[in-house]
Each structure stands twice: as structure tokens, then as C-alpha cells.
């Protein structure tokens, strides 16, 4: 009996499980992290090609399923199962991440992988179609949001294949897609702090159909910037320049006319928390 509340939609088409693992271009020296191995349909294929598989599974019944499936085979030594929530526990170092992702954690998982100091070389992840489209959405696209910007800024994303719902048991309500995410490393990785850049995007995408300037003009954002500035001054032994902060106070909202002509195409579906994009936009697959 599968628990769809935790995204248990088991991949039943072996051709797709093969393709997911093939598209990760595994090397025999690779350590792979799999999120949500379930009954192990993808895991057994990874074990054939990699040096080691660390599989993180939330459901103890599933963790014992995959453990039993591999027990007594030559691959038993290569498998380590970690029982727990993939978003909460610290990931061990790994070269590649593969997952038929439980839909509830799509957004925090992508944020977690991309913000790692040493991200994996490549991630091959199955998502609900709309989430995959958000990852690859371009400016002007209604799906373009904070996730799109972050993901494309810090990685190269390729849509690999569409997967119909009939390939899962039980079938979800929506279609899925497999994407490959290759985090930028070394000189290709933008030399900005992840937290600061994401903080900027949270403000930029905070309000639907508002200009960037208007988002920066709200009392809340001005107060936030002032607090951050004061903290920064305290940490860096810099005297607060009261002339700057005084001007910031109370400027508040600007009027609509002022906003016109500054329009930036955006959508704030993914507003002020990391998981917001997951449950929105008709992405429910639970049945
Ligand atoms: N990999 C299997 C397959 O493709 O057939 C199962 C995929 S199923 C979509 C998602 C799996 O992730 C389930 O086994 C579920 O129990 C597990 N899961 C759900 N939430 C999780 C979480 N927060 N951390 C780790 N595993 C989770």
C-alpha cells in the first residue's frame, strides 16, 4: 500500500528507470545520492554502475524494502540507506544525485542541492511537469519565478524527457518530466553569496504584477534593508550612516503612475518561502 501523502508514486516502467540512470552518465568511481528510493527500482540500476549509493528514505517500510531487495547480492556492500527527511538531514558528499522526487519536496530539494558548497556534478531528477517547466522558464514566461532565476543562475538545466502518469503506480494526477541539473562550479559559478542573491530575489518576486522598484519601496522591505545594514555595520565595526537610513524611513509605497514604464515581467508564485512553489499552480498529484 503506497502513501501518496508522501509522494509514493512508484515508477513501474523499467525503460524509464534505465533512461534516468543513463542520463546521469555515471562513472564507476561515483558516489550517488538517491532521494526517496522507494522499492528500489532506480536504486538497483544505480548500484550496477556506481561505486556507492546512499539512499535517503523517509518511510521505514520502504527503507526495509530496498534493503531486503539488495540483501545477499554483490551490491549489498555498496548500499547505505539513511532513514529520514532528505530536507532535514545533512547530505553526505556525493558526485551525482538521482531522484524520482516526492513532489512535496521539489522546491526545497533544488534549493538545497544548488546552495551546497560542493554541489554534485550532476542531478537527474523527476518532477511534476509544471515544476520542470518553472525550472526552465525564461523571462516573460508566466511560470518564470524565483526558482527559475536561482536555478538557471547557479546551474545548467536540460529537459530530458516527458513521462506520462501511466508509468507510475498509483498514477499521479499530473504528468511528469525528467530534468538534468548541472550545478556551475569553479569559475563558472557566479561569485555571489547564495543567501544574498536569494534574498534579493525574494524581494524582487515578492508581489505579483508589481515592478521591482515598487517591491523595494515598501515599508517592510526598507525596514528589512535598514536592519541588515545596521547588522552589517555592527559586524564590520562601521559607524552607521544615519543620513542613509533616515532617508529610507517612511518612503513607503509609490503610486501606480510612478510604477509604469518600469515593468519587469515576473510572477511571484514562489513568494516568500522556499516551498511555496511546490503546492501551487495546480501541481497537486495526490489522489
Ligand atoms: N524511487 C522510487 C521509484 O522511482 O519508484 C520511489 C519514488 S516515490 C515518487 C518517492 C519516494 O520518496 C517514496 O518512497 C517516499 O516514501 C519518499 N519520500 C517522501 N518524502 C521524502 C523525504 N522528505 N525524504 C526522503 N524520502 C522521501
pLDDT category of residue 184 using cuts at 50, 70 and 90: very high
According to DSSP, the residues that pair with 122 across neighbouring strands are 96
- CA-nearest residue for atom 16, ligand 1, is 59
- CA–centroid distance, 89 to ligand 1, in Å, is 15
Pocket of ligand 1 (CB under 6 A): 6-11, 35-38, 41-42, 56-59, 62, 85-87, 100, 102, 105
Q: What's the rounded Cα separation, in Å, for the pair 40 and 248?
A: 56
pLDDT for 195 equals 87
Instruction: Measure 167 CA to ligand 1 centroid, in angstroms.
Output: 16
Q: For 99-128, what is each residue's pLDDT tens digit?
A: 999 999 999 999 999 989 899 999 999 999
pLDDT at 166: 97
* pLDDT tens figures, 31-83: 999 999 999 999 999 999 999 999 999 999 999 999 999 999 999 999 999 99
Rounded to the nearest angstrom, the distance between the alpha carbon of 209 and the centre of ligand 1 is 35
Separation of 1 CA from ligand 1 center, angstroms?
14
> Nearest residue CA, atom 5 of ligand 1?
10
Atom of ligand 1 nearest to the CA of 11: 5
CA gap 26, 48 in Å, rounded: 10
In 151-271, beta strands by DSSP E = 155-163, 168-169, 176-183
Instruction: Compute CA distances 220 → 195, 231, 243, 275, 280, whole Å.
Output: 19, 16, 19, 22, 25
Report the range of poorest mean pLDDT among 35-44, 199-208, 243-252: 243-252
What sign does the CA torsion over 207, 209, 212, 218 have?
negative
Is pLDDT larger for residue 256 or for residue 164?
164
Task: Supply the pLDDT for residue 244.
Answer: 80
DSSP-derived 3-state class of residue 170: coil
| Ligand 1 center from residue 29 Cα (angstroms) | 25
Per-residue model confidence (pLDDT) at position 209:
79
Q: What is the pTM of this model?
A: 0.83
CA distance 137 to 226: 33
Residue 117's closest CA among 90, 80, 148? 90
pLDDT at residue 239, as a whole number: 95
pLDDT of residue 13: 97
Q: How far apart are CA 141 and CA 92, in angstroms?
A: 36
Considering only residues 257 and 170, tell me which one the structure prediction assigns the higher pLDDT: 170
Q: For the complex shown, is ipTM > 0.90?
A: yes
Task: Give the start-end residues of each E strand in 58-193.
Answer: 79-83, 96-100, 122-128, 155-163, 168-169, 176-183
Q: Whose CA is nearest to atom 19 of ligand 1?
A: 6
Q: Which grid coordinates are listed for 14?
A: 523499467
Tell me the C-alpha distance between 211 and 204, whole Å: 8
Residue among 103, 125, 132 nearest 33 (CA): 125
Amino acid at each position: 500500500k503506497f502513501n501518496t501523502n508522501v509522494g509514493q508514486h512508484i515508477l513501474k516502467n523499467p525503460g524509464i528507470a534505465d533512461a534516468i540512470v543513463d542520463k546521469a552518465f555515471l562513472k564507476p568511481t561515483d558516489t550517488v545520492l538517491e532521494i526517496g528510493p522507494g522499492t528500489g527500482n532506480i536504486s538497483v540500476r544505480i548500484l550496477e554502475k556506481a561505486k556507492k549509493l546512499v539512499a535517503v528514505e523517509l518511510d521505514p517500510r520502504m527503507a526495509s524494502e530496498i534493503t531486503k531487495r539488495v540483501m545477499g547480492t554483490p551490491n549489498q556492500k555498496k548500499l547505505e540507506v539513511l532513514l529520514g527527511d532528505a530536507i532535514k538531514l545533512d547530505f553526505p558528499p556525493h558526485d551525482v544525485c538521482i531522484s524520482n522526487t516526492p513532489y512535496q519536496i521539489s522546491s526545497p530539494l533544488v534549493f538545497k542541492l544548488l546552495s551546497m558548497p560542493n554541489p554534485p556534478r550532476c542531478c537527474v531528477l523527476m518532477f511534476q511537469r509544471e515544476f520542470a517547466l518553472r525550472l526552465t522558464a525564461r523571462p516573460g514566461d508566466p511560470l518564470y519565478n524565483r526558482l527559475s532565476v536561482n536555478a538557471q543562475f547557479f546551474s545548467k538545466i536540460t529537459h530530458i524527457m516527458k513521462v506520462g502518469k501511466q508509468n507510475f503506480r498509483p498514477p499521479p494526477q499530473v504528468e511528469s518530466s525528467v530534468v538534468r541539473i548541472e550545478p556551475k562550479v569553479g569559475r563558472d559559478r557566479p561569485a555571489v553569496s547564495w543567501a544574498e542573491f536569494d534574498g534579493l530575489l525574494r524581494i524582487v518576486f515578492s508581489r505579483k504584477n508589481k515592478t521591482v522598484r515598487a517591491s523595494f519601496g515598501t515599508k517592510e522591505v526598507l525596514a528589512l534593508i535598514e536592519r541588515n545594514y545596521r547588522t552589517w555595520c555592527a559586524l564590520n565595526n562601521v559607524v552607521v550612516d544615519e543620513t542613509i537610513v533616515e532617508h529610507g524611513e517612511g518612503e513607503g509605497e509609490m503610486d501606480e503612475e510612478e510604477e509604469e514604464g518600469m515593468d519587469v515581467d515576473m510572477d511571484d508564485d514562489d513568494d516568500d518561502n522556499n516551498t511555496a512553489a511546490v503546492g501551487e499552480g495546480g501541481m497537486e498529484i495526490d489522489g
